[in-house]
Structure 1
Amino acid sequence: MRSLGFIAALLLSGTAHAAPARPPLPPITDQFLLDQLELGEEIEGRADGDLNGDGDTDTVFVVASPHERHLYVVLSYRSEVDIGHQSGGDFKLAPDALGAAELSIAKGVLTVKDLTGGTTALSATYRYRADKVQPKMRLIGLDATVYSRTYAHDGDEMSWNLVTGDIVTSLLKVTGDGEDRSYDTLYTRKFKRPSKPVFMEDTPDPELELVGATKAK
Protein backbone atom coordinates (compact mmCIF):
# COMPACT_ATOMS: atom_id res chain seq x y z
CA MET A 1 0.00 0.00 0.00
CA ARG A 2 1.33 3.38 -1.01
CA SER A 3 1.34 5.41 2.19
CA LEU A 4 3.03 8.50 0.78
CA GLY A 5 0.86 8.52 -2.32
CA PHE A 6 -2.32 8.32 -0.32
CA ILE A 7 -1.34 11.21 1.92
CA ALA A 8 -0.15 13.24 -1.07
CA ALA A 9 -3.56 12.87 -2.68
CA LEU A 10 -5.19 14.19 0.47
CA LEU A 11 -2.90 17.16 0.76
CA LEU A 12 -3.17 18.08 -2.92
CA SER A 13 -6.92 17.75 -3.00
CA GLY A 14 -7.53 21.50 -3.04
CA THR A 15 -8.86 21.79 0.49
CA ALA A 16 -6.64 24.76 1.26
CA HIS A 17 -8.27 28.08 0.53
CA ALA A 18 -8.62 31.57 1.92
CA ALA A 19 -9.56 31.42 5.57
CA PRO A 20 -13.16 32.46 6.30
CA ALA A 21 -14.17 34.42 9.36
CA ARG A 22 -14.57 31.28 11.45
CA PRO A 23 -16.92 28.51 10.33
CA PRO A 24 -15.24 25.23 11.31
CA LEU A 25 -13.45 23.31 8.61
CA PRO A 26 -15.67 20.34 7.72
CA PRO A 27 -14.31 16.80 7.93
CA ILE A 28 -13.03 15.01 4.85
CA THR A 29 -15.96 13.30 3.16
CA ASP A 30 -16.37 9.54 2.92
CA GLN A 31 -16.62 9.86 -0.85
CA PHE A 32 -13.27 11.62 -1.09
CA LEU A 33 -11.60 8.82 0.86
CA LEU A 34 -13.28 6.20 -1.31
CA ASP A 35 -12.07 7.98 -4.44
CA GLN A 36 -8.44 7.51 -3.33
CA LEU A 37 -8.67 3.74 -2.90
CA GLU A 38 -7.07 1.23 -5.20
CA LEU A 39 -8.56 -2.10 -6.26
CA GLY A 40 -9.03 -4.40 -3.27
CA GLU A 41 -8.82 -1.63 -0.66
CA GLU A 42 -11.60 -0.45 1.63
CA ILE A 43 -12.09 2.00 4.47
CA GLU A 44 -12.14 -0.23 7.55
CA GLY A 45 -13.18 2.59 9.85
CA ARG A 46 -12.84 6.29 10.59
CA ALA A 47 -13.22 8.76 13.44
CA ASP A 48 -13.48 12.55 13.43
CA GLY A 49 -12.67 15.04 16.17
CA ASP A 50 -10.37 17.86 17.21
CA LEU A 51 -6.87 16.50 17.83
CA ASN A 52 -4.74 19.64 17.59
CA GLY A 53 -6.96 22.00 19.57
CA ASP A 54 -7.78 24.44 16.77
CA GLY A 55 -11.53 23.86 16.90
CA ASP A 56 -11.60 22.26 13.44
CA THR A 57 -12.29 18.62 12.66
CA ASP A 58 -9.42 16.18 12.14
CA THR A 59 -9.88 12.73 10.64
CA VAL A 60 -8.45 9.31 11.43
CA PHE A 61 -9.09 6.33 9.16
CA VAL A 62 -7.86 2.83 8.39
CA VAL A 63 -7.36 1.60 4.84
CA ALA A 64 -7.45 -2.20 4.56
CA SER A 65 -6.65 -4.64 1.76
CA PRO A 66 -6.44 -8.46 1.87
CA HIS A 67 -2.79 -8.31 2.94
CA GLU A 68 -2.26 -4.92 4.60
CA ARG A 69 -3.86 -2.39 6.92
CA HIS A 70 -2.72 1.20 7.33
CA LEU A 71 -3.89 3.92 9.70
CA TYR A 72 -3.73 7.58 8.65
CA VAL A 73 -4.27 10.84 10.54
CA VAL A 74 -5.15 14.03 8.68
CA LEU A 75 -4.97 17.22 10.75
CA SER A 76 -6.75 20.44 9.90
CA TYR A 77 -4.77 23.66 9.93
CA ARG A 78 -5.68 27.32 9.89
CA SER A 79 -3.39 30.27 9.28
CA GLU A 80 -4.03 33.95 8.64
CA VAL A 81 -4.30 33.32 4.91
CA ASP A 82 -5.69 29.84 4.38
CA ILE A 83 -7.09 26.65 5.85
CA GLY A 84 -6.63 23.04 4.82
CA HIS A 85 -5.40 19.59 5.80
CA GLN A 86 -1.99 18.10 6.47
CA SER A 87 -0.67 14.69 7.45
CA GLY A 88 -0.42 14.04 11.18
CA GLY A 89 1.18 10.62 10.79
CA ASP A 90 0.50 7.07 9.69
CA PHE A 91 1.57 3.53 10.55
CA LYS A 92 0.88 -0.07 9.63
CA LEU A 93 -1.46 -2.19 11.69
CA ALA A 94 -1.09 -5.98 11.79
CA PRO A 95 -2.87 -7.53 8.77
CA ASP A 96 -4.56 -10.46 10.58
CA ALA A 97 -7.42 -8.49 12.09
CA LEU A 98 -10.16 -10.16 14.12
CA GLY A 99 -12.54 -7.31 13.33
CA ALA A 100 -12.27 -3.63 12.53
CA ALA A 101 -10.02 -1.44 14.65
CA GLU A 102 -11.89 0.74 17.14
CA LEU A 103 -11.06 4.41 16.64
CA SER A 104 -12.08 7.17 19.05
CA ILE A 105 -11.12 10.76 19.82
CA ALA A 106 -11.78 12.27 23.25
CA LYS A 107 -10.24 15.35 24.87
CA GLY A 108 -7.58 15.56 22.18
CA VAL A 109 -6.45 11.93 22.57
CA LEU A 110 -6.73 9.41 19.75
CA THR A 111 -7.30 5.86 20.98
CA VAL A 112 -6.87 2.90 18.62
CA LYS A 113 -7.94 -0.56 19.81
CA ASP A 114 -6.95 -3.47 17.59
CA LEU A 115 -7.42 -7.23 17.97
CA THR A 116 -5.37 -9.51 15.73
CA GLY A 117 -4.20 -13.10 15.50
CA GLY A 118 -6.22 -16.30 15.72
CA THR A 119 -6.92 -18.64 18.62
CA THR A 120 -3.97 -16.94 20.26
CA ALA A 121 -4.77 -13.25 19.97
CA LEU A 122 -2.99 -9.95 20.49
CA SER A 123 -5.05 -7.09 21.87
CA ALA A 124 -3.30 -3.74 21.41
CA THR A 125 -4.38 -0.27 22.48
CA TYR A 126 -2.49 2.77 21.16
CA ARG A 127 -2.98 6.30 22.50
CA TYR A 128 -1.74 9.40 20.68
CA ARG A 129 -1.77 13.14 21.25
CA ALA A 130 -0.77 15.91 18.85
CA ASP A 131 2.74 17.18 19.50
CA LYS A 132 2.90 20.76 20.78
CA VAL A 133 5.67 21.79 18.39
CA GLN A 134 5.32 19.71 15.23
CA PRO A 135 2.13 18.79 13.34
CA LYS A 136 2.60 15.14 14.26
CA MET A 137 0.85 12.61 16.44
CA ARG A 138 2.92 11.39 19.38
CA LEU A 139 2.49 7.99 21.05
CA ILE A 140 1.67 8.50 24.72
CA GLY A 141 0.45 5.05 25.72
CA LEU A 142 0.67 1.44 24.56
CA ASP A 143 -1.17 -1.51 26.09
CA ALA A 144 -0.72 -5.08 24.84
CA THR A 145 -2.17 -8.42 25.86
CA VAL A 146 -1.41 -11.84 24.38
CA TYR A 147 -3.91 -14.51 25.40
CA SER A 148 -5.76 -17.62 24.24
CA ARG A 149 -9.33 -17.03 23.14
CA THR A 150 -10.08 -20.63 24.21
CA TYR A 151 -8.03 -20.47 27.44
CA ALA A 152 -5.64 -23.05 26.03
CA HIS A 153 -2.61 -21.41 27.66
CA ASP A 154 -1.54 -18.59 29.96
CA GLY A 155 -1.11 -15.04 28.72
CA ASP A 156 0.75 -11.81 29.43
CA GLU A 157 -0.27 -8.17 29.55
CA MET A 158 1.55 -4.84 29.61
CA SER A 159 0.62 -1.19 29.97
CA TRP A 160 3.23 1.43 29.06
CA ASN A 161 2.78 5.13 29.77
CA LEU A 162 5.32 6.83 27.51
CA VAL A 163 4.77 10.20 29.19
CA THR A 164 5.80 9.05 32.67
CA GLY A 165 7.83 6.00 31.60
CA ASP A 166 5.78 3.72 33.87
CA ILE A 167 5.30 0.10 32.77
CA VAL A 168 3.03 -2.43 34.45
CA THR A 169 3.17 -6.13 33.48
CA SER A 170 1.17 -9.12 34.68
CA LEU A 171 0.82 -12.84 34.03
CA LEU A 172 -2.61 -14.10 33.02
CA LYS A 173 -2.97 -17.56 34.54
CA VAL A 174 -5.63 -19.96 33.30
CA THR A 175 -7.91 -21.08 36.12
CA GLY A 176 -10.99 -23.29 36.29
CA ASP A 177 -12.16 -26.11 34.04
CA GLY A 178 -14.38 -26.45 31.00
CA GLU A 179 -16.79 -23.59 30.51
CA ASP A 180 -15.68 -22.09 33.83
CA ARG A 181 -12.16 -21.35 32.60
CA SER A 182 -10.97 -17.77 32.95
CA TYR A 183 -7.80 -15.80 33.62
CA ASP A 184 -6.42 -14.74 36.98
CA THR A 185 -4.05 -11.75 36.99
CA LEU A 186 -0.86 -12.66 38.88
CA TYR A 187 2.66 -11.39 39.54
CA THR A 188 1.95 -7.75 38.69
CA ARG A 189 5.21 -5.83 38.39
CA LYS A 190 5.84 -2.10 38.00
CA PHE A 191 8.98 -0.39 36.75
CA LYS A 192 10.09 2.60 34.70
CA ARG A 193 11.42 2.76 31.16
CA PRO A 194 11.87 6.38 30.05
CA SER A 195 11.44 7.04 26.35
CA LYS A 196 12.25 9.78 23.91
CA PRO A 197 9.23 11.14 21.99
CA VAL A 198 7.84 8.43 19.71
CA PHE A 199 5.90 9.75 16.75
CA MET A 200 3.19 7.75 15.02
CA GLU A 201 5.35 6.64 12.09
CA ASP A 202 7.76 5.05 14.62
CA THR A 203 5.08 3.20 16.57
CA PRO A 204 6.72 0.01 17.91
CA ASP A 205 5.40 -3.52 17.50
CA PRO A 206 3.18 -4.08 20.58
CA GLU A 207 3.97 -7.79 20.81
CA LEU A 208 7.72 -7.18 20.76
CA GLU A 209 7.33 -4.50 23.43
CA LEU A 210 5.28 -6.92 25.54
CA VAL A 211 7.93 -9.65 25.25
CA GLY A 212 10.66 -7.17 26.19
CA ALA A 213 8.73 -5.81 29.15
CA THR A 214 7.93 -9.25 30.60
CA LYS A 215 11.59 -10.27 30.35
CA ALA A 216 12.96 -7.04 31.83
CA LYS A 217 14.55 -7.30 35.25
Structure 2
Amino acid sequence: MMRSLGLIVALLWSGSAHAAQDRPAMPPVTDQFLLDQLELGEEIEGRADGDLNGDGDSDTVFVVSSPDERHLYVVLSYRGEVDIGHEPGGDFKLEPYALGPAELSIDKGVLTVRDLTGGTTALSATYRYRAVKIRERQRMRLIGLDAAVYSRSYAHDGDEMSWNVATGDTITSLLKVATSGEGGYDKLHTRKFRRPVRTIYMEETPGAEEELIGATKAK
Protein backbone atom coordinates (compact mmCIF):
# COMPACT_ATOMS: atom_id res chain seq x y z
CA MET A 1 0.00 0.00 0.00
CA MET A 2 0.94 3.61 -0.46
CA ARG A 3 4.10 5.02 1.06
CA SER A 4 3.75 6.20 4.63
CA LEU A 5 1.36 9.11 4.95
CA GLY A 6 3.92 10.62 7.27
CA LEU A 7 6.35 10.81 4.36
CA ILE A 8 3.76 12.49 2.18
CA VAL A 9 2.97 15.03 4.87
CA ALA A 10 6.67 15.71 5.44
CA LEU A 11 7.12 16.41 1.75
CA LEU A 12 4.06 18.64 1.66
CA TRP A 13 5.21 20.50 4.74
CA SER A 14 8.72 21.03 3.40
CA GLY A 15 7.34 22.47 0.19
CA SER A 16 4.96 24.97 1.79
CA ALA A 17 6.08 25.88 5.28
CA HIS A 18 7.08 29.51 5.80
CA ALA A 19 5.80 32.57 7.61
CA ALA A 20 2.03 32.20 7.82
CA GLN A 21 1.36 35.91 7.49
CA ASP A 22 3.34 36.13 4.23
CA ARG A 23 1.37 33.65 2.16
CA PRO A 24 -1.98 33.44 0.36
CA ALA A 25 -4.32 30.51 0.84
CA MET A 26 -2.63 27.18 0.13
CA PRO A 27 -3.66 25.52 -3.14
CA PRO A 28 -4.88 21.91 -3.09
CA VAL A 29 -2.35 19.10 -3.36
CA THR A 30 -1.75 18.34 -7.04
CA ASP A 31 -2.81 15.08 -8.68
CA GLN A 32 0.73 14.57 -9.89
CA PHE A 33 2.12 14.78 -6.38
CA LEU A 34 -0.23 12.02 -5.22
CA LEU A 35 0.56 9.91 -8.27
CA ASP A 36 4.27 10.21 -7.52
CA GLN A 37 3.72 8.52 -4.13
CA LEU A 38 2.02 5.41 -5.51
CA GLU A 39 3.60 2.00 -5.54
CA LEU A 40 3.28 -0.62 -8.27
CA GLY A 41 -0.34 -1.72 -8.77
CA GLU A 42 -1.86 1.27 -6.94
CA GLU A 43 -4.00 4.04 -8.34
CA ILE A 44 -5.88 7.08 -7.11
CA GLU A 45 -9.51 5.98 -7.07
CA GLY A 46 -10.82 9.43 -6.27
CA ARG A 47 -10.19 12.66 -4.39
CA ALA A 48 -11.99 15.69 -2.99
CA ASP A 49 -10.71 19.07 -1.83
CA GLY A 50 -12.34 21.49 0.57
CA ASP A 51 -12.03 23.20 3.92
CA LEU A 52 -12.53 20.65 6.70
CA ASN A 53 -10.99 22.53 9.62
CA GLY A 54 -12.25 26.06 9.05
CA ASP A 55 -8.90 27.75 8.31
CA GLY A 56 -9.77 28.83 4.78
CA ASP A 57 -7.23 26.48 3.16
CA SER A 58 -8.02 23.40 1.08
CA ASP A 59 -7.72 20.03 2.76
CA THR A 60 -7.48 16.88 0.64
CA VAL A 61 -9.20 13.51 0.88
CA PHE A 62 -8.20 10.70 -1.47
CA VAL A 63 -8.59 6.95 -1.92
CA VAL A 64 -5.72 4.72 -2.99
CA SER A 65 -6.74 1.36 -4.42
CA SER A 66 -4.97 -1.80 -5.54
CA PRO A 67 -6.44 -5.11 -6.74
CA ASP A 68 -7.17 -6.33 -3.21
CA GLU A 69 -7.08 -3.26 -0.95
CA ARG A 70 -8.51 0.26 -0.73
CA HIS A 71 -7.40 2.95 1.71
CA LEU A 72 -8.74 6.45 2.38
CA TYR A 73 -6.44 9.25 3.57
CA VAL A 74 -7.10 12.78 4.86
CA VAL A 75 -4.47 15.52 4.77
CA LEU A 76 -5.38 18.65 6.75
CA SER A 77 -3.85 22.09 6.39
CA TYR A 78 -2.69 23.97 9.46
CA ARG A 79 -1.55 27.47 10.35
CA GLY A 80 0.91 27.93 13.21
CA GLU A 81 2.20 31.18 14.63
CA VAL A 82 5.22 31.16 12.35
CA ASP A 83 4.56 28.49 9.72
CA ILE A 84 1.93 26.65 7.73
CA GLY A 85 1.77 23.20 6.24
CA HIS A 86 -0.13 19.92 6.11
CA GLU A 87 -0.57 17.09 8.57
CA PRO A 88 -2.40 13.74 8.56
CA GLY A 89 -5.99 13.98 9.75
CA GLY A 90 -6.80 10.28 9.61
CA ASP A 91 -7.05 7.21 7.43
CA PHE A 92 -8.92 3.91 7.30
CA LYS A 93 -9.40 0.88 5.08
CA LEU A 94 -12.46 0.77 2.87
CA GLU A 95 -14.08 -2.53 1.96
CA PRO A 96 -12.50 -4.21 -1.10
CA TYR A 97 -14.40 -5.23 -4.25
CA ALA A 98 -15.87 -1.83 -5.03
CA LEU A 99 -18.80 -1.56 -7.42
CA GLY A 100 -17.50 1.83 -8.49
CA PRO A 101 -15.29 4.58 -7.08
CA ALA A 102 -16.10 5.87 -3.60
CA GLU A 103 -18.00 9.18 -3.71
CA LEU A 104 -16.16 11.84 -1.69
CA SER A 105 -17.64 15.23 -0.82
CA ILE A 106 -16.92 18.07 1.60
CA ASP A 107 -19.75 20.41 2.59
CA LYS A 108 -19.82 22.87 5.49
CA GLY A 109 -16.85 21.17 7.13
CA VAL A 110 -18.30 17.65 6.93
CA LEU A 111 -16.60 14.91 4.92
CA THR A 112 -19.04 12.39 3.44
CA VAL A 113 -17.81 9.10 2.00
CA ARG A 114 -20.31 6.97 0.06
CA ASP A 115 -19.15 3.49 -0.87
CA LEU A 116 -20.78 0.51 -2.60
CA THR A 117 -19.10 -2.89 -2.50
CA GLY A 118 -19.89 -6.56 -2.99
CA GLY A 119 -21.57 -8.30 -5.91
CA THR A 120 -25.19 -9.26 -6.50
CA THR A 121 -25.57 -8.80 -2.76
CA ALA A 122 -24.24 -5.33 -2.07
CA LEU A 123 -23.14 -3.34 0.96
CA SER A 124 -23.89 0.37 0.80
CA ALA A 125 -22.04 2.45 3.41
CA THR A 126 -22.03 6.18 4.06
CA TYR A 127 -19.52 7.61 6.53
CA ARG A 128 -19.54 11.21 7.82
CA TYR A 129 -16.62 12.88 9.59
CA ARG A 130 -15.80 16.24 11.11
CA ALA A 131 -12.34 17.60 12.00
CA VAL A 132 -11.65 18.22 15.68
CA LYS A 133 -8.58 19.53 17.45
CA ILE A 134 -7.22 17.39 20.29
CA ARG A 135 -4.52 19.34 22.11
CA GLU A 136 -2.24 20.34 19.21
CA ARG A 137 -3.35 17.63 16.81
CA GLN A 138 -6.19 17.71 14.29
CA ARG A 139 -8.14 14.47 13.82
CA MET A 140 -11.17 13.33 11.88
CA ARG A 141 -14.03 12.14 14.09
CA LEU A 142 -16.81 9.83 12.87
CA ILE A 143 -20.18 11.54 13.36
CA GLY A 144 -22.47 9.35 11.27
CA LEU A 145 -22.66 5.90 9.67
CA ASP A 146 -25.41 4.62 7.40
CA ALA A 147 -25.36 1.08 6.04
CA ALA A 148 -27.56 -1.25 4.01
CA VAL A 149 -27.19 -4.81 2.76
CA TYR A 150 -29.50 -5.73 -0.10
CA SER A 151 -29.82 -7.68 -3.34
CA ARG A 152 -29.20 -5.67 -6.49
CA SER A 153 -31.51 -8.09 -8.32
CA TYR A 154 -34.10 -8.13 -5.50
CA ALA A 155 -33.46 -11.83 -4.93
CA HIS A 156 -33.76 -11.54 -1.14
CA ASP A 157 -34.64 -9.19 1.69
CA GLY A 158 -32.17 -6.75 3.21
CA ASP A 159 -31.55 -4.51 6.20
CA GLU A 160 -30.59 -0.87 6.64
CA MET A 161 -29.34 1.32 9.47
CA SER A 162 -28.76 5.02 10.07
CA TRP A 163 -26.58 5.79 13.10
CA ASN A 164 -25.93 9.32 14.34
CA VAL A 165 -22.69 8.60 16.15
CA ALA A 166 -22.60 12.06 17.74
CA THR A 167 -25.97 11.63 19.50
CA GLY A 168 -26.36 7.85 19.53
CA ASP A 169 -29.73 8.03 17.73
CA THR A 170 -30.17 4.95 15.53
CA ILE A 171 -32.84 3.85 13.06
CA THR A 172 -33.08 0.35 11.58
CA SER A 173 -35.49 -1.11 9.03
CA LEU A 174 -36.14 -4.40 7.25
CA LEU A 175 -35.99 -4.10 3.48
CA LYS A 176 -38.68 -6.49 2.23
CA VAL A 177 -38.73 -7.45 -1.43
CA ALA A 178 -41.78 -5.70 -2.92
CA THR A 179 -44.66 -7.97 -3.93
CA SER A 180 -45.52 -5.86 -6.98
CA GLY A 181 -43.18 -7.91 -9.14
CA GLU A 182 -41.57 -4.78 -10.55
CA GLY A 183 -38.52 -4.88 -8.29
CA GLY A 184 -37.76 -2.69 -5.32
CA TYR A 185 -38.07 -2.93 -1.56
CA ASP A 186 -40.70 -2.04 1.00
CA LYS A 187 -39.35 -0.64 4.27
CA LEU A 188 -40.86 -2.50 7.25
CA HIS A 189 -40.42 -2.81 11.02
CA THR A 190 -38.65 0.53 11.41
CA ARG A 191 -37.23 0.86 14.90
CA LYS A 192 -35.68 3.87 16.63
CA PHE A 193 -33.41 3.63 19.66
CA ARG A 194 -30.36 5.28 21.16
CA ARG A 195 -26.92 3.72 21.41
CA PRO A 196 -24.25 4.83 23.88
CA VAL A 197 -22.39 7.89 22.64
CA ARG A 198 -18.68 7.31 22.10
CA THR A 199 -15.83 9.10 20.39
CA ILE A 200 -14.63 7.26 17.28
CA TYR A 201 -11.74 8.67 15.28
CA MET A 202 -11.26 7.82 11.62
CA GLU A 203 -8.57 5.22 12.32
CA GLU A 204 -11.07 3.40 14.56
CA THR A 205 -13.92 3.39 12.02
CA PRO A 206 -15.90 0.17 12.58
CA GLY A 207 -17.00 -2.14 9.79
CA ALA A 208 -20.29 -0.96 8.32
CA GLU A 209 -21.75 -4.45 7.92
CA GLU A 210 -20.78 -5.49 11.44
CA GLU A 211 -22.43 -2.38 12.89
CA LEU A 212 -25.54 -3.04 10.80
CA ILE A 213 -25.79 -6.60 12.08
CA GLY A 214 -25.29 -5.46 15.64
CA ALA A 215 -27.91 -2.72 15.36
CA THR A 216 -30.56 -4.96 13.83
CA LYS A 217 -30.06 -7.50 16.62
CA ALA A 218 -30.09 -4.93 19.43
CA LYS A 219 -33.07 -4.97 21.76
> Does TM-score exceed 0.5, indicating one fold?
yes
Partner of 2:130: 129
1:198 aligns with 2:200: yes
> How is 1:49-128 mapped onto 2 (pairs within 5 angstroms)?
49-128=50-129
Q: Deviations over 1:19-38 (max 9, x none)?
A: 24351011111000000000
Q: Deviations over 1:180-213 (max 9, x none)?
A: 0210000000000023210000000000000000
CA RMSD of aligned residues (A): 1.1
Alpha-carbon distance in structure 1 between the residues aligned to 2:61 and 2:132? 16
TM score, norm. by length of structure 2: 0.95
Partner of 1:166: 169
Q: Which amino acid aligns with 1:212?
A: G
Aligned partner of 1:8 among 6, 9, 15: 6
Q: Which amino acid aligns with 1:189?
A: R
Q: Which amino acid aligns with 2:6?
A: A
> How is 1:125-164 mapped onto 2 (pairs within 5 angstroms)?
125-133=126-134, 134-164=137-167
Alpha-carbon distance in structure 2 between the residues aligned to 1:89 and 1:17? 21
Unmatched segments (≥5 aa) in structure 2: none
4+ runs deviating over 4 angstroms: none
TM score, norm. by length of structure 1: 0.95
Unmatched segments (≥5 aa) in structure 1: none
Give the Å deviation of 1:117: 0.2
1:17 aligns with 2:9: no
The secondary structure found in structure 2 opposite 1:207 is helix
**Count of residue pairs the alignment pairs up:** 214
Alpha-carbon distance in structure 1 between the residues aligned to 2:159 and 2:80? 47
The secondary structure found in structure 1 opposite 2:32 is helix
Alpha-carbon distance in structure 2 between the residues aligned to 1:74 and 1:195? 26
The secondary structure found in structure 1 opposite 2:189 is strand
Alpha-carbon distance in structure 2 between the residues aligned to 1:23 and 1:90? 28
Contact 2:166 2:198 in 1 (8 A): no
Give the Å deviation of 1:215: 0.3
Give the Å deviation of 1:177: 5.1
Give the Å deviation of 1:144: 0.1
